[in-house]
Amino acid sequence: MTGMDDFRILKAADSALVFEFGTAIDRKISDRVLGLAEILNNAGLPGATEIVATFRSLCVNYDSLKTTGAELEQAIVALMKGAGTSSQIRRLWEIPVCYDPEFAPDIEEVATRVGLSVAEVAALHAGTQYHVYMIGFVPGYPYMGDLPKQLRLPRRRDPRTRVPPGSLAIATSLTAVYPYESPGGWHLIGTSPVRFFDPDSANGSLLGPGDSVKFRSVAAGEFSRICRAVERDEYEPESREIAT
Amino acid sequence: MIPVLKVIAPGFHTTIQDEGRRGFQHVGVPVSGALDRNGYLLSNALVGNAPGAACLEIIGTGPELEVVGASVRVALIGSAGGGLEIAGRDDAFVGSGRTVRLARGEIARVRLGGDAFCSYLAIEAGFDVPLCLNSRSTYTRARFGGFSGRPLQGGDMLHGFADDAASREEVTFSAPRDLALDQPIRVVLGPQDDYFTALAIEELLQGSYIISPASDRMGFRLAGPELEHKSDYNIVSDSIVGGSIQVPGSKLPIILMADAQTTGGYPKIATVISADLPVLAVRGGGRTVRFQAVSREDAERISRAEHQRLTKMIQDIRPESSKGISLEALYHQNLIDGVVDAKV
């Protein structure tokens, strides 16, 4: 570990360098991680094989036959010094979601625990614009935040062994959608008809780290209509570029 | 799409794998690919494939395959005692580490032998499955890549890039591959070694661990000395690499392998060096692992030396009839005949 200014460079053997900017889930830290990711992706560092942004650190995978950790560290630190703050173009997505209790097994319990009505929980959740901190856990699973303070709850005491795909979930300061059926300990407050991961598409994942997301509440009828369009590969959620 | 082999019996866990899927970890897609990268490279090199060709990774028990193309050249890499049993032939057993040309209608049973957790079967020109996110590797958890995103099943038709393999002298290695089953697994401490007590670091490096039978392509769970966290065992999730040794609340380490998720919320006490990932991968449930700490610079040196050793091994692939004693051939002969044949 190398102490340097306000970040640390950690080692993952001869496989990767980890640039760590903090220990918390924090929008400012995330912006630094994503900013560095952009710089390194544009620089095309020799020997770097893959750059992975997470909440608070950037993992730079490398091929130890093509470069060394020490060389790469130097090159990256030099790039960091040269970089000014640049505004970045990011994508804002509008994702339909149905918050009806029929599609939201935990929304009534969540409403009771936070002292709001089901409609208020849905309105609060859909009324917030979220930042995609990172994608992980399973392909395409977006960790998004920050959830309005009124909706923050710890994870469920009894995690489910099977969460259906499309489930919209919340826990702590975060919200996410499960692209695949998987185990999960978050509260399920809706279902989205959108496909968040498609291995047959060029990028796989609908969302990327740094994207922004707003949810649009849809009724059961529209939900079913979108589901059918998704099955026919005739649906893509709306998105536009925004400067941050 | 050229049909090459039909799966009569699939074996316990047989998947199509290649060098892995790079460039999608930032959207949560694991690298996947061959667990034992060396075995994968060597099997492809034997049949003359360029790096990157897809082969079969075989875990647990071997498949039974029928040749449906005109002919196909195959090579198995795995345990020294493993090989192909070819029904109806006089020389029915072709040991691992050598090529053999099979004709239409022949049936080969893959026998794994007991040493290697994973074995590799390559065919000349490689298996042909659609590229998925730039790779032919199977990722079973999300059911994509490889053969329909799943392990092989009886009745599957495997396709290749050639219907026929030219007749030529078969080849083997000059010396058998050493699986190094007793070699310490070398690690670089970190990235989160500062989450552990000094005693935990000492336990990791002095202790002996047994790989749990519950281990798979996602991770090798280890049983042995508990590793104490200084305080918290949760961290805000960050990236994982192949060989990350994470320690959850159970205090028992888990080494994350090819299909591990890309991010995780447990501190990682150390990371297996890239050269020793294949050494670890060939040890399965029940085998012992000891760790040894090295510096990152050592790890990089070892990686270069290991690359040279493999390159040399591939350069030294020779026709079976060429002079020099093939220890591997001798070994297989003994297995089949049960006697030492001094004439070999």
Whole-number pLDDT of residue B176:
87
**Running DSSP on this structure, what letter comes out for residue A156?**
P
Whole-number pLDDT of residue B293:
98
Q: Do B188 and A13 touch (CB under 8 A)?
A: yes
Minimal C-alpha gap between B133 and chain A (Å): 6
What is this model's ipTM? 0.94
Mean pLDDT of B307-326: 85
Nearest CB among A65, A68, A141 relative to B28 is that of: A141
Label residue A170 by pLDDT band (50, 70, 90): very high
Q: Which residues of B touch A15 (CB under 8 A)?
A: 241-243, 271, 274
Q: Do B145 and A24 touch (CB under 8 A)?
A: no
Whole-number pLDDT of residue A4:
47
Mutate to test the interface with A, among B262, B272, B302 (most CBs of A within 10 A): B262
Label residue B285 by pLDDT band (50, 70, 90): confident
CATH superfamily for A89-243 is Cyclophilin-like (2.40.100.10)
Whole-number pLDDT of residue A2:
43
Q: Do B300 and A14 touch (CB under 8 A)?
A: yes
Place of tokens 């998105």: A239
Mind listing the pLDDT tens digit for each residue in B74-92? 999 999 999 999 999 988 9
Whole-number pLDDT of residue B331:
53
Q: Residue ranges of the domains in chain A?
A: 8-81, 89-243
- Three-state DSSP at B140 gives helix
Whole-number pLDDT of residue B343:
39
Whole-number pLDDT of residue B114:
87
Closest listed residue to residue A234, CA positions, set A243, A223, A244, A225: A225
Nearest CB among A49, A52, A208 relative to B239 is that of: A52
Find residue B17's DSSP bridge partners.
B55
Query: Is the separation of the CB atoms in A187 and A106 below 8 Å?
Result: yes
Query: Is the separation of the CB atoms in A175 and A146 below 8 Å?
Result: no
Q: Which residues of A touch B272 (CB under 8 A)?
A: 13
Mind listing the pLDDT tens digit for each residue in B167-180? 999 999 998 899 99
Mind listing the pLDDT tens digit for each residue in A92-126? 999 999 999 999 999 999 999 999 999 999 999 99
CATH of domain A8-81: 3.30.1360.40
Residue B324 has pLDDT above 70, yes or no: no
User: pTM higher than 0.90 for the full model?
Assistant: yes
Residue B210 has pLDDT above 90, yes or no: yes
Residue B99 has pLDDT above 70, yes or no: yes
Whole-number pLDDT of residue B340:
40
Q: Which residues of B touch A72 (CB under 8 A)?
A: none
Joined together, the tokens standing for residue A40 give: 């390194």
Whole-number pLDDT of residue A243:
81
Contacting A residues, span 19-58, partner chain B, CB-CB under 8 Å: 20, 23-25, 37, 49-57
Mean pLDDT of B1-16: 97
CA A81 – CA B148 distance, rounded (Å): 47
Instruction: Give DSSP secondary structure letters for B170-199.
Output: -EE-SSPPP--TTSPEEEEE-SSGGGB-HH
Q: Which residues of A touch B24 (CB under 8 A)?
A: 139, 203-205
Joined together, the tokens standing for residue B79 give: 């345990």
Whole-number pLDDT of residue B339:
42
Mind listing the pLDDT tens digit for each residue in B170-209? 999 998 899 999 999 999 999 999 999 999 999 999 999 9
Mean pLDDT of B300-318: 97
Q: Do A204 and B133 touch (CB under 8 A)?
A: yes
Closest listed residue to residue B170, CA positions, set B317, B336, B325, B341: B317
Whole-number pLDDT of residue A82:
75
Whole-number pLDDT of residue A104:
98
Which amino acid, one-letter code, is at A74? Answer: Q
